[in-house]
Structure 1
Amino acid sequence: MGIYSINAEGGDATTTPVDVGILIEGVEVLHDLGDIASACALLMGVIYAMNLRYPQELKTFFEVLQKIFLQLDATRLSTKVQMRKNKL
């Protein structure tokens, strides 16, 4: 699962992407999302709506995104997430 961004040929980091979307198990589930921030929020919504588990190698990243940035279930933090929060 992940977010993809397609930039225009010759574009740089400040150029608006041509397409931003979400892939789950190699299948495009959403596209034309506009920006990465919207894609992150919608990815969390898709994960919740489909009752998916976070990928093991990205579990801490998604937990930080969920609990610190989106403040969903923010009172129960794992040790790794608590350490990341303290660093912020």
Structure 2
Amino acid sequence: MAVYVIRKEGGHHEPPADIGVIIESVKVLNELPSFTSACALLLGMIYIITLAYPKPLRFTFEVFQKVLLQLDQHMMSPKVQILFRRLQ
């Protein structure tokens, strides 16, 4: 799973040429308006398709889903529950 941003060479101050989402080596979304939109759509697809989070990022995605988006809060892992309590 990945969010990609393609910029023109040397165009760091210009809008990106393309922003999109890749899941399992397949480009599933492209020409998105912003990196933020791409992240939100990736999380939505993970939730709707019931994909497993990538192991190195499982807690990051779980925090986004269960703490920030407040989806399935009753099913938090112990590590995320501790963070959630500290944030309250």
- The number of residues matched between the two structures is 87
Cα separation, partners in 2 of 1:28 and 1:60, compared to 1, 3 Å: same
Name the SS for the 2:73 alignment partner: coil
DSSP-derived class of the 1:28 partner: strand
* Residue in structure 2 matched with residue 44 of structure 1 by the alignment: 43
4+ runs of 1 displaced by more than 6 Å?
Answer: none
C-alpha separation between the residues in 2 aligned to 1:7 and 1:47? 26
CA RMSD of aligned residues (A): 2.1
Displacement of 1:83: 4.2
Percent identical pairs in the alignment equals: 47
**TM-score of the superposition, structure 1-length normalised?**
0.80
Unaligned runs of at least 5 residues, structure 1: none
1:6-21 matched pairs, under 5 angstroms: 6-12=6-12, 14-21=13-20
- Where does residue 61 of structure 1 map in the other structure? 60
Greater per-residue helix proportion: 2
SS of residue in 2 equivalent to 1:82:
helix
| Cα-to-partner distance string for 1:30-83 (whole Å, 9 max, x where unaligned) | 101121111111111211232211112211011011012212123443232234
TM-score by length of 2: 0.80
CA, structure 1 residues 79+15, in 2 after alignment: closer, same or farther (shift >3 Å)?
farther
